[in-house]
Structure 1
Amino acid sequence: MRTKQQISITLPNEMAAQLKAKVASGEYASESEVIREGLRALLARDQAAEKWLQEQVVPSWNALENGESEGVSGKEIRARLIAEHKRATGTF
């Protein structure tokens, strides 16, 4: 049974040059290895986003919908961020 599949991709010139540079530097053994690493990073990012949504966003939304939590307006968030920035930078 075949465990790999050969595919062909088209990249913009700049990305193709970066791909070749990764191999030329010795950081990766082949162009395929660079692509595999990039895909693994993309999948890890997607999994992290999904985990954040399931573990933090959904419970927060449910609490808000069930009246267990109160929402904050955009104006209030902006005011809090400005105040925090002023405290952090020492500008008043």
Structure 2
Amino acid sequence: MASERLTITLTPELLEFVRERTAEGDYNSDSEVIRDGLRLLKERDIAVRQWLTEKVVPGYLQYKANPESAMTREQVEQQLDHDRRQRRAKKGAAG
């Protein structure tokens, strides 16, 4: 993929973070740090959109159709804990 040059302005704190990561040898260049950060941001945005599409919208529509089907706070917390454990297990198996 062809690269295009882009000039950005960073706060002193972000610039220091980028330079530290490069100096520590985690990345070969400042550009690699920025690219990796943007890649992670993109992955997070995709995950949030997927969560909204697959979980939030169907749950809202189910609630609108049948308000009595709403989960209690405890049920929501249990489901969130379950989902977190599944994600961690999946990440651990992939890593």
**Alignment TM-score, normalising by the size of structure 1:** 0.72
Gapped runs of 5+ residues in structure 2? Answer: 79-95
* Structure 1 stretches of at least 4 aligned residues deviating more than 4 Å after TM superposition: none
Deviation (angstroms), 1:27: 0.6
Aligned residues: 76
Check 1:69–1:43 CA distance in 2 against 1; reply closer, same or farther (3 A cut): farther
Bigger Rg, which one: 1
Give the secondary structure class of the aligned counterpart of 2:69.
Answer: coil
Structure 1, gaps ≥5 residues long: 85-92
Which structure is higher in helix share?
2
AA at the equivalent of 1:63: Q
The answer on whether the counterparts of 1:20 and 1:31 sit within 8 Å (CA) in structure 2 is yes
Matches within 5 A, 1:53-92: 53-67=52-66, 69-71=68-70, 77=73, 80=74
Match of 1:14 in 2: 13
The TM-score with structure 2 as length reference comes to 0.70
